[in-house]
A = this chain, B = another copy of it.
Amino acid sequence: MQFFSVINFPVPLFASTTETADSSLVLASVLLSLVVIYFASKLGGELSNKVGLPPVLGELVSGVIIGVSVLHLLVFPETGVESSSSVIMKFLQATAGLTPEATPQVFAAQSEVISVLSELGVIILLFEIGLESNLKDLMAVGIQATVVAVVGVAVPFAVGTVGLIAIFGIDPIPAIFAGAALTATSIGITSKVLSEIGKLNSREGQIILGAAVMDDVLGIIVLAVVGSLAKTGEVDIAKVVYLIISATAFLVGAIVLGNVFNKVFVAIADQLKTRGELIIPAFIFAFIMAYLASVIQLEAILGAFAAGLILEETDKRKELQKLVLPIADMLVPIFFVTVGAKTDLGVLNPAIPSNREGLIMASFLIAVAIIGKVVTGLTVFGQPGINRLAIGVGMIPRGEVGLVFAGVGSASGVLSKPLGAAIIMMVILTTFLAPPLLRLVFPDTPSSDASASSSAQSS
């Protein structure tokens, strides 16, 4: 290490000049992590597909197996794991000359890179979902989707909050917090499963997708409300108004300006003559939208989805879908395997006494989470012959937003440990249950083999 130090070097230029040892070890650890992730995703996805379940469930499960719960192949500092227990770091120590002193630094860098790659994965996923969705189809079911979203937020929130107070004797503020964690649907899981079973562009799929997007926005507003309630005891009206205005402005602005930008985008892409002439402008647009969405405190994935939706309106649609397909194939599995790997199933172990109180509350929250969304499907009106059950089931998976509630609530001391753990169990169970349930309630599902789905996407 000393040998590569830059102290005496006047004009260090490239990374490889000054940090050869470190940066090549970070690269080696990222390469190994990707090999493990890809291997797990293919093994899990293929097995899941073979038994008739959506591949994404297999990716999540294989992520759990290689992650903090079982094999410790892919672990992250934020799950409370030390670098010394990472199997990949041990392997690098044995094969690549990684020293124990340098290990924490390499481990931190590797975790940071894989986490960002996984977030880029879900951004690309939502961009692809946007590219495969049609704005007019979405608008056509807009009223139904809005009703589903609002009912799907209100029912679990009310039943969860009241139930926790009445049955478990929880104080109102933590009960409101836990109730709020029941509201937001995981758009990533749901849209991926819908795409895999070929139902993304069904009427049911469009209602689920539209409602999930609105759910996410509503969930973020609810978080602002209960967050300030928990922190100061009162609601920060200004922040809530700001969020509502900025979210509305973003979505409406995206749709309205999108119609103009469409033509500009095609004109620019037609002018470009060097490689990446279509995909690079598309990514510039998608990443700017993702950045904007994240800056106004929405989620980056909503921006990417809006960008996809806007570009779907152009005649470059098919070509773009074809180009994004392999990029999504490369990056999206990193997201789902990482989600699995970061899931600590230890919280579900009833042998640990402190888990038991949480498990009982978790059973209640899971029941509310599932029933609360399934009844939501029944509110769909004016759509004769529609599969109402499927819509409700499609809204079941909670995800990132639910975990943010658990994290914020626990860190600020509002949630007791058992209640915090119960929320996490609810998120895990709904996430893992939704893919097989969705598969079940769409009985007329075509085979989801690769050739069928990729030709459907590129045709």
Contact = CB atoms under 8 A, between A and B. Distances in A.
Nearest to A124: B330
Contact of A411 (B3, B272, B323, B408): B3
A93 B94 CA distance: 42
B14 A450 contact: no
A412 interface: yes
A275 B451 CA distance: 8
A12 B78 contact: yes
A449 interface: yes
B404 A20 contact: yes
Interface stretch (A135-143, A256-264, A284-292, A378-386): A284-292
Contact of A413 (B8, B30, B411, B453): B8
A16 B291 contact: no
A70 interface: no
Contact of A14 (B16, B400, B454): B400
Contact of A403 (B17, B34, B76): B17
Which secondary structure dominates where chain A touches chain B?
helix
A41 interface: yes
Nearest to A418: B10
Given A26-B116, A35-B284, A10 B417 contact: yes
Interface in A399-416: 400, 403-404, 406-408, 410-413
Contacts of A284: 35, 38-39, 42
A353 interface: no
A300 interface: yes
Interface stretch (A246-254, A341-349, A362-370, A433-441): A341-349
A12 B79 contact: yes
Interface string A277-307: 1011101100110110011000010000000
B342 A450 contact: no
Nearest to A285: B35
A113 interface: yes
Contact of A28 (B78, B291, B326, B420): B291
Given A49-B273, A96-B295, A330-B279, A115 B15 contact: yes
Interface string A24-48: 1011101110110011011001100
A274 interface: yes
Given A23-B119, A35-B284, A276-B326, 12 more contacts: A8-B410, A16-B403, A26-B112, A27-B119, A31-B294, A34-B287, A38-B283, A45-B275, A46-B273, A49-B274, A96-B294, A112-B113
